[in-house]
Amino acid sequence: MAEIHSLLNTDASNTTRFNGANNVSTLDDAGRALEGMLSRWIKDNDGSNTTTGTATAYVIALNRTGIAANADVDRICVRFHLANSGAATLQCNSLAALPIRKAGNEALVTGDILANDVKDVVYNPANNSFQLLGQ
Segment 105-125 mean pLDDT:
96
| Assessment of whether the complete model's pTM goes beyond 0.85 | no
pLDDT of residue 120: 96
Residue 58: pLDDT over 90: yes
Rounded CA-CA distance 94/102 in Å is 23
Segment 88-108 mean pLDDT:
95
Rounded CA-CA distance 57/73 in Å is 17
Q: How does residue 21 score in pLDDT terms, banded at 50, 70 and 90?
A: low
Residue with the larger pLDDT of the pair 52 and 39 = 52
Helix/strand/coil (H/E/C) assignment for every residue in 42-54: HHCCCCCCECEEC
Q: For a pLDDT cut of 90, what percent of the chain falls above it?
A: 57
Residue 22: pLDDT over 90: no
Torsion of CA 16, 36, 66, 133, to 10 degrees: 110
How far is Cα of residue 117 from the mean position of the Cα atoms in its chain?
A: 17
How far is Cα of residue 94 from the mean position of the Cα atoms in its chain?
A: 13
